[in-house]
Structure 1
Amino acid sequence: MEQLRRLTQPVAHLVVLGILALSLHLPAANAAMVGTEAVVSATQAQQDRERLAQTISRADVQQQLVARGVDPAQVQARLQSLTDEEVQTLAANMDQLPAGGDALGVLVFIFLVLLFTDIMGFTNVFPFVKHPQR
């Protein structure tokens, strides 16, 4: 009888551990159909990512990045870390933005600088600014 108890004790421990292991909740694997939109979106995002990578790898773009103190390798790493939606937005904006930047903003800035210097009395550019008599 004593020998039977010694044999049943390790078996009882194994049974308890087995029941505990089976009672753990593991999420079930789900399979679903992949829609056409998801496939097309993923393909478009990959194409946009490749186009941006090609643009960044051009010699003239890399020269401009280095001239502005930006490491091209860091730009490439950040490009790889973008989500698909961010890549698509960036590619769409790149197609729509003017190549030389916004000239209107530069003109307004120059006008404001000249106006400010004219008001301060450093220049005499605008006739509508009244200057104090010297």
Structure 2
Amino acid sequence: MEFMRKQRTAVCLLLIFSMMFLAGPVQTAAHAAMISPQTVIDTAKAAEAKEQINTFLAREDVQKSLTAMGISPDEAKARAAGLSDSEAVAFADQMENAPAGGSAGMLIGAVLFVFVLLLITDILGFTKVFKFTRSLR
């Protein structure tokens, strides 16, 4: 009986010390700091931009266009969800500032580039596309 009491006391002391060492180094303290108004504004802009992107991706015509390009709408939504806050804001700004009708300016620029390229090659004598040019050769 005496042996059991000594053993029980030793086990209790061992448990007390082990619990003190386990709980001792862990410090759970909360650190409070002021949040700047700019941080709050940036967070609100990011949330609004992500909502705008999700609304855009949920449209039926956008999903059809994505499917026609070989991109699944679910994959596009997953990529949009993976955007950082600054990327989401930049993308939403691009969507707002994009001209209606897509890239008509780029189409006109490409046509002018091809025309000038063919004109130069006609003048140099590499091609004969236009009848109003004279070859240098």
Q: Tell me the TM-score normalized by structure 1.
A: 0.73
1:94 corresponding residue in structure 2: 95
Q: What's the counterpart of residue 106 of structure 1?
A: 110
Gaps of 5+ in 2: none
Displacement of 1:89 after TM fit? 0.9
Q: Which moved more, 1:68-77 or 1:58-67?
A: 58-67
In the alignment, residue 127 of structure 1 is paired with which amino acid? T
5+ long unaligned stretches in structure 1: none
Cross-structure match for 2:43: 42
The alpha carbon displacement at 1:71 in A equals 0.7
Q: Look up the equivalent residue of 2:133 and give its one-letter code.
A: P
- Percent of counterpart pairs with the same letter? 27
Shift of residue 114, structure 1, vs aligned partner: 3.4
TM-score normalised by L of structure 2: 0.72
- Structure 1 residues 76-101: Cα deviation after superposition (integer angstroms, max 9, x where no partner): 11111212111111111222333422
1:58 Cα deviation after fit:
1.9
- Number of residue pairs the alignment of both structures matches: 131
1:124 corresponds to which of 108, 124, 129: 129
- Coordinate RMSD, CA, aligned: 3.0
- Aligned amino acid, residue 114 of structure 1: L
